[in-house]
Structure 1
Amino acid sequence: MIDRHHLETLRAVERYGSLTAAAEQLHLTQSALSHAMRKLEQRIGAPLWERDGRQLRFTPAGQYLLGLANRILPQFEHAEMLVSQMALGQRGSLRVGMECHPCYQWLLKVVGPYLEQWPDVDVDVKQEFQFGGMGALFSHDIDLLVTPDPLQKPGVHFESVFDYEQVLVVGPEHPLAGEAVVAPEQLRGETLITYPVAVERLDIFTRFFLPAGVTPARHKVIETTDIMLQMVSAGRGVAALPAWLVAEYGRTIELRALRLGEAGIDKQIFLGFRERDAGIDYLDAFVQLAREIRWN
């Protein structure tokens, strides 16, 4: 039988690189750990790792069980944390995953008032789940997913909480700075700056350039909003961002916002959560507050 301690051992070996280090982290002797894992290998009839010099390399069976450990153990640990909090009279914790680079600034507007209203609930924001949030929801690594592009799947419910417009951002000296609306053809010679996101997930391509059969001259990737907008303000390129975010940064950086096409590009921020979690009071309260908060 595969027990939880077997999975914890596999995870520790993968994290720390050796049986000695894994045993130390798990507060076991190396001989006890090795004996337990040898018994498991005998039981399943397959080795879990092999030596490669001083390193341990997982076999296919070991890789499979390691994947199982990485999916299941966070659920055990989260459940234990929640039960401990309940025993102490606390409500719990809310883990929020981000699947949207600029949504972090929006989320800050919600988290502050929420913490005031729910002092017994801790909020943890996990940005490492950008663009992999559905898996994080199903594996119980997060409780809420913030995304502008919900992927509808059984077991997950999405609520639209914030409407906004995607706009083109240019610097104050850009030739288009005085325009209200921009057409795809006007950007053929431009350097487009985006976050490190696949082109098929970028609205500026899927809803603006590609339908018109146009591509910008260059495509530059920058991870941080601050640097991106400094580059735009300096005339080093253009970007497509939420209008509310441009307005916020426009207080300190000189920028111009243009509508993308006559109809514009309308977007929404969604909060996704597991359907069986509907009715949890502090989760429902976060969704409701997110609907009420508006960007000034």
Structure 2
Amino acid sequence: MIEHIHLKIVQTVDQHGSLTAAAKELCVTQSALSHAVRKLEQNLGTDIWLREGRSLRPTQAGKYLLHIANRVLPLLDHAESKLKQIAQGERGTLRIGMECHPCYQWLLKVVSPFLDAWPDVDVDVKQKFQFGGVGALLDYEIDLLVTPDPFYKSGLCFNPVFDYEQVLVVPKHHALTTLQYAQAEDLRDQTLLTYPVSTDRLDIYTQFLNPAGVVPKRHKTSETTDIMLQMVANNRGVAALPRWLAEEYCAKLPLAVVRLGKEGIAKQIYLGTRENDHNIEYLSAFIELARNYKHPPEANRSSGS
């Protein structure tokens, strides 16, 4: 029979590379750990690792068991945490994963009234899931995923919460501000500033530049919106952001927004959840609050700040 400790051993050996290191991490003797492994291998009728000197290489069975451990252990940890919270009279923690860099400012404005309405629920934002959140959601590492690009998969549902337009942000007196809208060709001689995301996940590439076969003169990345737009304001490049966020910064910095293409680039923000979590009251309440939050209205003008 495969037990919790067996999965923990397999995962810890994979993380630390040897039985000796795993035993130290799990606070057991190496002999006790080796005995547990031998007994498991006997019960399964197959080896879990091939021993190569001091290192261990997982067999096919070991790789499969590691996959199970990585899926099951977070779920068990989550269940244990939830049960402890219930026993202590607490509702729990809403763990939010981000797949949308500029949405962090929007999220802060939704979290504040949520915390006021649900004083017995904490919020934890997991930024390390910025660009791989579906797996984290399926593995119970997060409870809610903020994303502009829903990935429909069995067991998950995605709720649209608001529409927005992706626009080009340029210095206030940039030549592009005289146009009704920018064309892809207009960015050929520009430095494009983006978040550190692969280009196949950036709308400015997938929906604007790539279809026209245009590559900007330079492509630089920035981790933070503030630094990115300070760079733009100081004529170091242009950037693509949601109009509502861009116009917030236009009120503080010498910036302007320009529509991307004649029709613009229309997007939506979605909140992804697990289907079997639909009965969690505070989770449903957060989604409803996000839907009703009145973010700054997006102007219809094509340029200007």
Give the TM-score, by structure 2 length: 0.89
- Measure the CA separation in 1 of the matches of 2:136 and 2:113: 25
- Measure the CA separation in 2 of the matches of 1:63 and 1:114: 42
Aligned 1:101-250 pairs, distance under 5 A: 101-250=101-250
The count of residues paired between Structure 1 and Structure 2 equals 296
1:95 and 1:144 in contact (8 A); partners too: yes
Aligned amino acid, residue 63 of structure 2: Q
Higher alpha-carbon deviation: 72-81 or 18-27: 18-27
Higher alpha-carbon deviation: 225-234 or 213-222: 213-222
- Deviations along 1:119-149, one digit per CA (max 9) or x if unpaired, are 1112111122222222222222211111111
1:193 and 1:238 in contact (8 A); partners too: yes
Cα pair distance change 1:57/1:251, threshold 3 Å: farther
- Measure the CA separation in 2 of the matches of 1:117 and 1:129: 26
1:196 and 1:223 in contact (8 A); partners too: yes
- Measure the CA separation in 1 of the matches of 2:88 and 2:291: 31
SS in structure 2 of the partner of residue 136 of structure 1: helix
1:173 and 1:235 in contact (8 A); partners too: no
- Measure the CA separation in 2 of the matches of 1:77 and 1:235: 49
- Measure the CA separation in 2 of the matches of 1:193 and 1:94: 32
- Measure the CA separation in 2 of the matches of 1:41 and 1:27: 22
The Cα shift of 1:286 comes to 0.2
Higher alpha-carbon deviation: 241-250 or 214-223: 214-223
The Cα shift of 1:50 comes to 4.3
- Measure the CA separation in 1 of the matches of 2:214 and 2:21: 55
SS in structure 2 of the partner of residue 248 of structure 1: helix
Report what 2:22 is aligned to: 22
- Measure the CA separation in 2 of the matches of 1:146 and 1:232: 26
Aligned 1:43-62 pairs, distance under 5 A: 43-52=43-52, 54-62=54-62
Identity of aligned residues (%): 60
The Cα shift of 1:52 comes to 4.9
Unaligned stretches of 5+ residues in structure 1? none
Cα pair distance change 1:14/1:209, threshold 3 Å: same
Aligned amino acid, residue 7 of structure 2: L
Cα pair distance change 1:57/1:224, threshold 3 Å: farther
Give the TM-score, by structure 1 length: 0.91
Report what 1:287 is aligned to: 287
1:93 and 1:122 in contact (8 A); partners too: yes
SS in structure 1 of the partner of residue 273 of structure 2: strand
Aligned amino acid, residue 216 of structure 1: P
SS in structure 2 of the partner of residue 214 of structure 1: coil
Aligned amino acid, residue 258 of structure 2: L
Answer yes or no: is 1:269 the counterpart of 2:269: yes
Report what 1:66 is aligned to: 66
Aligned amino acid, residue 111 of structure 2: V
- Measure the CA separation in 2 of the matches of 1:118 and 1:221: 37
- Measure the CA separation in 2 of the matches of 1:247 and 1:159: 25
Cα pair distance change 1:237/1:88, threshold 3 Å: same
The Cα shift of 1:222 comes to 2.9
- Measure the CA separation in 2 of the matches of 1:227 and 1:58: 44
- Measure the CA separation in 2 of the matches of 1:116 and 1:47: 54
SS in structure 2 of the partner of residue 38 of structure 1: helix
